[in-house]
Structure 1
Amino acid sequence: MNNEAIELQDALASFDEIWSPRIVTRVNDYDVRIAKAEGEHLWHAHEHTDEFFLVLDGELSIALREDGGERVVTLPKGAVFVVPKGTEHKPAAPGGASILLFEPSGTLSVGDRHEDVPDHVDATVGHALDRPGASAG
């Protein structure tokens, strides 16, 4: 990882793909990822880890399936939310959003249990951030 400060807005400006997270840095065995979101992701769950969301810009809704029902948590800019491990969830950003995610390195963006992955969603463990001196692995 790079020992320089990272400007998140510059990092976000370095790519255009939606639902395709970039690894900004690592903290111990966790990735700090950023992503652009627009439209709907897909229903999925991470069986062994929680998933942390911070909305950097725009608004993100996260539908959750829990206790036999569904609910939606809406996150405006600056809001955080943690999806508990094993909880099926479906992020969406109809108007577009920029988000920061915090999860164990190697966590697949579509979870361990998911529906068919639509073409606009990147099934990845994160991509290296395209900047001088950056390395995701």
Structure 2
Amino acid sequence: MNIKKGLLFTFICAMLALPMMAEEAKGGHQKADITYQTAPIYKVLDSKDFYVVLYGKYGAKIGTVTIPKKWATWQKDTPRKLSLRQLPSKMGAFMTLVKKDNEFHKVILTVPLDHTNRLWGIINDTKVDKSEKDSIELELR
């Protein structure tokens, strides 16, 4: 009886190991085509047409990026490039830049959606760089 149990155990182990060996034969790990960068947000300044985001860089540096509000709406032949997500409690605000095939795909701001929160501020439209752009880059260094 012990021989039958031993053979059954060996057979089951061999069957479970086959898919793992087949995956290794196909090449193993594949590189993802989607990557992301995340940075803490210190302040979001709201203007009529743009958000100006002050974010943390490595060390004690602060970076600034201007994000058009029109990116948050779906347009014909163009998916949304901006998403605002409600910040979970006891977390700090952060920004996630999503790249697909090493090119800008979208930016996600995880912030309190209540604009009376101290993270939010207001900036005059005349102070905002209004250049039209299709992507943004985070300079973290």
Name the TM-score, length of structure 2 as normaliser: 0.26
Higher RCO structure, 1 or 2 (CA under 8 Å, sep 6+): 1
The structure whose residues are more often strand, as a share, is 1
Name the TM-score, length of structure 1 as normaliser: 0.27
